[in-house]
Structures are given as C-alpha cells and as structure tokens.
Amino acid sequence: VNNIVKRKSISNFILIIIGAASILLFTSFSDNQLSLDGKIIDTLPDNSFNNANYIAMDINGEPLYTIKSPLMKHFYKDDTIITKSPNILLFREGKPPTKIVSGMGSIAYKRNNIKLFNGVRMFFIDKKDDPVLKLNTDEIYIYLDHQLAVTEKKVTIKKLYSSLKGVGMKSSLELGEFVLFTETEGKYIE
C-alpha cells in the first residue's frame, strides 16, 4: 500500500510539473503571437476615417483647400494625413479653384505641403470662362504657402487642342504658369 501511495504521489507530482510547464510554454507562445513590434506601433494611425471630408482654413477662417477621400489616416506624431483616392480643391483668391485627383496622397497639414502620387490629374482654370487646362503626372508636390506645384516626373499638359510634354515641372498656381524642365515637346493650335 505504501508503494502504491508513493507511486501516486510521484505521478501526481510529475503531472503537476508537466501541467505547469505546459502552461508556461503556452503562455510564452501566446505572448509571442500577440505581441506587436515597437516599429509597427509607431506606424499605426492615431485616427482613421472612412468617406472623409477635410477642410483646411487659413488664420482668417478662409478655406485653403478641401479633401474628399474614401479613406483618411491621421498620424499625430508627424502631423500628416494619408489619403486614398483624394479629390482636392485648392482655393485661390478671386479665381476658380484648382481640382486635383490622384490614387494616394500625403498631407503635411501644419506645413501646408501636399504630396500626391499614383496617377495625378490636375484641372486648372485661370478665369471663369477659360477652357480647362489638364495636367497629368505620376507624382507632384504642392507647397501651398508659395502656391507652387513641383514634380521631377513626366508631365503632360493639354488645353483644348494644344499639348505640352516634358520631364520635371514647376508651376505657379497663383499665376497659372507652367515651366517644364527637360525633354519638352508640344504643339499649339488656336
């Protein structure tokens, strides 16, 4: 009887050790599966919005630009908004707004800078009754404080039957001037 009791005690002790080891192993495995890397945490947005409308105002309460997007992600740490398929209206004093659409966008709202990429299309009208100037490029930077649009990519500009192509561009959005840097070619038809 003593041997049987000793065997049961040893068996129970071994089962307790195996059970405790299993629990520790399972807990360790679960922690590894559920933990997040610190780098991932830094890149998670602070806010995420579906079907969002964003209006940026100047210090006098006048609108600078609006953005409509099916998805916006706000990152507080670096003061940026990432947008999917943004539809942007840039307002200019006394002139029609400039419309810009693209596949993706990044807005540094405190610095008034916008980066657009993945099929950028800009629609520019200098005066109300003017024909629309259409600009296509892969990527463009817009510096709102200076009313400049800049790209190093290929650019195509069309207005009525005239067109201009080149690589690299600087544009004054206020004056409606577009300067292409290299590989320029075009045709002008009245």
How do residues 108-152 score in pLDDT, each as one tens digit? 877 788 999 999 999 998 888 889 999 999 999 999 888 899 999
| Mean of the per-residue pLDDT values of the chain | 83
Q: Closest Cα to residue 99, out of 149, 138, 52?
A: 149
**Nearest-angstrom CA–CA distance, 56 and 105:** 15
- In total, the chain counts a number of residues equal to 190
The identity of residue 6, as a single letter, is K
- Single-letter amino acid, residue 119: G
Q: Identify the pLDDT of residue 133.
A: 92
Question: Which of 26-40, 98-112, 125-139, 176-190 has the weakest average pLDDT?
Answer: 26-40
* 108 strand-pairing partners: 80, 113
Q: Is residue 21 over pLDDT 50?
A: yes
In the predicted model, what is the mean pLDDT of residues 42-55?
81
Between vectors from CA 84 to CA 82 and to CA 86, what angle results, nearest 5°? 95
Single-letter code of the amino acid located at 69 = S
Amino acid identity, residue 161? Answer: Y
**SS3 at position 103:** coil
Q: pLDDT at residue 40 above 50?
A: no
| Percent of residues in the chain assigned helix, strand, coil, to nearest 5 | 20, 55, 25
- Predicted pLDDT at 41: 47
**Among 59, 54, 58, residue whose Cα is nearest residue 80:** 54
Please tell me the distance from the alpha carbon of residue 142 to that of residue 114, in angstroms, as a whole number: 5
